[in-house]
Chains A and B, each alone.
Chain A
């Protein structure tokens, strides 16, 4: 009994001495620090220490923010915090909001097993990165292989694999951390502004012929979208969209339904359900009909104008 008491007393005593020493020396060795760092770290930042910003934890990030504000540089971005945190940081430091936008991951592929041709069945492995070594399971070398490496990597459970073997990101759950982007061997995933409602659902940089034979919903780089909307550009046989919102007409102009807009349906609906695509196609034909009529009317108006102008000229001459 005595031994136990001695052991407990000794251990507690050492702990107590260490604690007292620590608290005493923390006063003696106190270093003045910018109190705003602690404030930002505790009250504004998410505090998950996820490292998505590139700093070693939220405290380090707070330090960098203060440093940047002092030098008048742009504040670093906190990807999980998004615009709310950026706004708070800016108002806390008395700066104008820098305008960091919330971003969402987007799988730029709609080539489900019915739409894209299979190249081979890889039975030995069930993950994308290994399958990529074999050249992938689809004829298209750029698309989503659907083994779900990104699903396993996503810390927020925001990605799932649709039964047609395409990964789909849930924009509600996605925080835009970008972990899935590093995992994907085919670089199918891209961060897009969350407010963007027009998406190019293809990643194929193959030439027109190869893309067309490999997949029914592949971008062939025809440049029709570019004509409708100057925010589109064609890079490496692939349409790229740069602005935030996007005109509906651009989406309607795409002959292969690669460009979709999400006014009515989500991206997931375009990949998963045929009804969404059918309804979209219906709206498209309706739009095309309207446009045709418009063109006809315009042509008729031009003709009438010409017809009017022509007799006048004759009269002029006769006079």
Chain B
């Protein structure tokens, strides 16, 4: 039950993009087509879970015993960056098909703030290991949901007749705002 709450919380109520405003860059950048949005979401899902796991372990078994909690931001950045590099190399060797599918998105999310945000948040909320895993994975699911919704809307916007001055970025930003408003409606769904 507890984990279900965490999952719902991170997908809907505390949606990374639409409620916490993290990872806006890929949200606007790679949402022109549903297919690219899907690729990005997969890469984020993969990296986010991995990064949160590693940083959680590092925090609880290295930084905490040494009383170095204040170093977590810089350590996390360092670890996430090298971790993504490492997985990129590994995937390229082990599964070229997956590498082609994730393509350029893997290195792109090295510096994605949503990844770092999830890593830090799961420490801040004092989740245990399983809670952190659920939080990170469903955070990425929430990210994917927002990205897919947005890219679907944008694909439709592209073929509908929008007034000339609202075309492109202008209408996209308005849509993003409305989507965010809609997700704000989930606030209060889960007490606490």
Contacts and interface: CB of A to CB of B under 8 A. Distances in A.
Interface of A: 3, 6-7, 10-11, 14-15, 18-19, 21-22, 25-26, 28-31, 56, 130, 133
B125 interface: no
A21 B86 contact: yes
Contacts of B66: 6, 10
Given A29-B92, A133-B165, A11 B86 contact: no
Given A10-B75, A26-B89, A130-B165, 18 more contacts: A3-B67, A6-B68, A10-B62, A10-B71, A11-B74, A14-B75, A14-B79, A18-B78, A18-B79, A18-B82, A22-B85, A22-B86, A22-B89, A25-B90, A28-B93, A29-B94, A31-B93, A31-B96
Contacts of A15: 78
Interface string B48-64: 00000000001000110
29 contacts: A6-B66, A10-B62, A10-B63, A10-B66, A10-B68, A10-B71, A10-B75, A11-B75, A11-B78, A14-B58, A14-B75, A14-B78, A14-B79, A18-B78, A18-B79, A18-B82, A19-B82, A21-B82, A22-B85, A22-B89, A25-B90, A28-B93, A29-B92, A29-B93, A29-B94, A31-B96, A56-B104, A130-B165, A133-B165
Dominant secondary structure of chain B at its interface with chain A: helix
B29 to A, nearest CB: 13
B164 interface: yes
B92 A133 contact: no
Interface size, B (range)? 20 to 34
A51 to B, nearest CB: 12
Which of A25, A26, A30, A133 counts the most chain B CB atoms within 10 A?
Answer: A25
Interface of B: 58, 62-63, 66-68, 71, 74-75, 78-79, 82, 85-86, 89-90, 92-94, 96, 104, 164-165
B165 A29 contact: no
Contacts of B62: 10
A128 B13 CA distance: 44
Contacts of A29: 89-90, 92-94
A63 to B, nearest CB: 12
